[in-house]
Amino acid sequence: MKRKEILLSIVENKSLKYEEIGDLHVGTSFETPLRPDAFERDDELKMELIAKHFREIMLILGLDLDDDSLSGTPDRVAKMYVKEIFSGLNPANKPDVKLFENRYKYNEMLVEKNIEFHSNCEHHFVPIVGKAHCAYISNGKVVGLSKINRIVHYYARRPQVQERMTMQIANHLKEALGTDDVAVIVEAEHLCVSMRGVQDHGSVTVTAEYSGKFKEDRYRNEFQKIALG
């Protein structure tokens, strides 16, 4: 089968077979698992604690932290975790979506495709690299295009499971736009598959979420043609 035919088959079924997904790839819930006290510590304290524990990991691995190249690594990793690659855990960073009147009376689907993102697998804490394709049909309001990208990046910047991330993006779009007519397809390479375990360097995981009019053949097929064509 050609790539496009494989992707269409996957998104029609909305899920992959176990062998294609990998071990323990199914998420535990729609919400990212967080403890009730997740935000009692401020960012500065979190970075201090992470740096301390990452230093211990490096020492256990046998690395010389007196070396100029390594001495600042614990602090750099801590800042990266809190301020960058896991910043989507903090609801304070949730994108503020402002809507505008649909003055052009455009009533067909709007598609924002090839939104590149970097996330991290919550099972091994190694990167997930991919792109998201998002679509909606206006119910009278429209959103600035960059906000769709920001929503994708917000949910990508946390330890993730791709199925969960796809649903989180779709639900956020529905809530922000006030419409059920939303569709999302995510294609991604999981480095937990290519770097370890089976070490397969060619596989791509595809997930999809359709709601409202996108459950109808006309809209779903048109979206898939644009997104995966």
Report if residue 38 sits inside a domain. no
Catalytic residue among 25, 112, 122, 160: 122
Q: Containing domain of residue 183, as a range?
A: 3-33+98-228
**47 lies in the same domain as 143:** no
Mean predicted confidence (pLDDT) in 93-113: 92
Is 44 part of the annotated catalytic residue set?
no
Q: Is 70 exceeded by the pLDDT of residue 142? A: yes
**21 lies in the same domain as 51:** no
**162 lies in the same domain as 223:** yes
Tokens 């800042």 correspond to what residue?
79
**75 lies in the same domain as 150:** no
Predicted pLDDT at 160: 97
Report if residue 59 sits inside a domain. yes
- Quick one: pLDDT band at residue 16, thresholds 50, 70, 90? very low
Q: Is 60 exceeded by the pLDDT of residue 19? A: no
Report if residue 204 sits inside a domain. yes
Catalytic residue among 112, 121, 187, 209: 121
Predicted pLDDT at 61: 98
Is 134 part of the annotated catalytic residue set?
no
Residue 21's φ and ψ, nearest 5 degrees, are: -85, -45
Helix (H, G, I), strand (E, B) or coil at 134: strand
Catalytic residue among 160, 168, 192, 209: 192
The two three-digit tokens of residue 23, written as one number = 């071990």
Q: Is the CB of residue 109 less than 8 Å from the CB of residue 135?
A: yes
CA–CA separation, 6 and 22 (whole Å): 17
Catalytic residue among 118, 124, 189, 222: 124
- Work out whether the CA dihedral 34, 39, 43, 46 comes out positive or negative: negative
Predicted pLDDT at 15: 43
pLDDT by residue (tens digit) across 181-218?
Answer: 999 999 999 998 888 888 877 889 999 999 999 999 99
pTM score, whole prediction: 0.86
CA–CA separation, 56 and 62 (whole Å): 10
Q: Is 70 exceeded by the pLDDT of residue 222? A: yes
**54 lies in the same domain as 123:** no
Q: How many domains does the chain have?
A: 2
Is 121 part of the annotated catalytic residue set?
yes
Is 122 part of the annotated catalytic residue set?
yes
Task: Give the amino acid at 211.
Answer: S
Say how many residues make up the chain: 229
Helix residue spans in the chain (DSSP H): 3-13, 18-21, 43-60, 73-79, 145-156, 162-177, 191-194, 217-228
Predicted pLDDT at 7: 52
Tell me the Ramachandran region of residue 64: left when phi exceeds 0, alpha when psi lies from -120 to 50, beta otherwise: beta
Helix (H, G, I), strand (E, B) or coil at 112: strand
Predicted pLDDT at 13: 53
Predicted pLDDT at 18: 33
Listed residue (116, 118, 123) closest to 22, CA to CA: 123
Give the percent of the chain with pLDDT over 70. Answer: 87
Q: Can you give the CATH number for the domain in which 20 is found? A: 3.30.1130.10
Q: Is 90 exceeded by the pLDDT of residue 133? A: yes
Tokens 């052009």 correspond to what residue?
104
Predicted pLDDT at 17: 37
Q: Is 70 exceeded by the pLDDT of residue 5? A: no
Which residues contact residue 140 at a Cβ distance below 8 angstroms, ignoring those fewer than 6 apart? Answer: 101, 102
153 or 13, greater pLDDT: 153
pLDDT by residue (tens digit) across 25-73?
Answer: 444 568 999 999 999 999 999 999 999 999 999 999 999 999 999 999 9
Mean pLDDT of the chain: 89
Catalytic residue among 133, 134, 162, 224: 162
CA–CA separation, 110 and 89 (whole Å): 28
Helix (H) or strand (E) run with residue 135 in it:
strand 127-137
